[in-house]
Amino acid sequence: MRSLPTILKTELLAESGYFQIEALHLEFSNGQQRIYERLRGTGYQSVMVVALPDPEHALLVREYAVGVEQRILGLPKGGVELGESYLEAANRELKEEIGLSAGRLCELGQLTLAPGHLCHSYRVILAEDLNPCKTLGDEPEPLEVIQVPLASIPSLVACGELHEARAIAALFMAMNHVTTRSPFGRGKHS
């Protein structure tokens, strides 16, 4: 396995309340030097929640996404607040976004988004044993909650209705977990 490139210099190009744009001057093991730009977060951690009301269905949300300027189908998600665990953040986001609380939470793994340019990863959390429990969140408008059969996820992706890559990856992680787990379950549970 090749060694990691040496960082010769890091320059801060721009900064906002949420992001920093950095230029990294790198030298690779073969002597080649390049400058890469990346968007670095400010320590923000986040979760994406696959909520299963039963083993055959998932709850998706439709909400406005400013990056693509349209309402898209995805999953409940949000930031981890100071002092919260990933599982606590996932349950809070469920309560705020879809009005449900999970009796059982399981961390399925970590995913990155555009790792060539973005320094951000998020935790995928499976939420089961759901019960009504609404709390006020930071959403500017109520999200549309849609229950879909897990078996229909591939066709939703194929027809373009579900196109958020991180939601698709999280759903496939959950579907794999549900079909392969032992009767006693796996993963980190709350």
pLDDT on residue 142: 84
33 plus 52 within the same structural domain: no
119 plus 180 within the same structural domain: yes
The answer to whether residue 176 sits within a structural domain is yes
The answer to whether residue 190 sits within a structural domain is no
The answer to whether residue 189 sits within a structural domain is no
- Reported as a single tens digit per residue, the pLDDT across 67-80 is 888 999 999 999 99
The answer to whether residue 1 sits within a structural domain is no
28 plus 99 within the same structural domain: no
84 plus 34 within the same structural domain: no
pLDDT on residue 185: 47
**Residue 110: which CATH number?**
3.90.79.10
150 plus 84 within the same structural domain: yes
User: Which one has a higher pLDDT value, 50 or 121?
Assistant: 50
69 plus 110 within the same structural domain: yes
Measured CA to CA, the distance from residue 60 to residue 147 in angstroms comes to: 6
31 plus 83 within the same structural domain: no
pLDDT classification of 158: cutoffs 50, 70, 90: very high
34 plus 118 within the same structural domain: no
pLDDT on residue 183: 57
For the chain, how many structural domains are there in total? Answer: 2
57 plus 113 within the same structural domain: yes
Domain that holds residue 117: 46-184
- Reported as a single tens digit per residue, the pLDDT across 98-137 is 999 999 999 999 998 888 888 788 999 999 999 999 888 8
The answer to whether residue 155 sits within a structural domain is yes
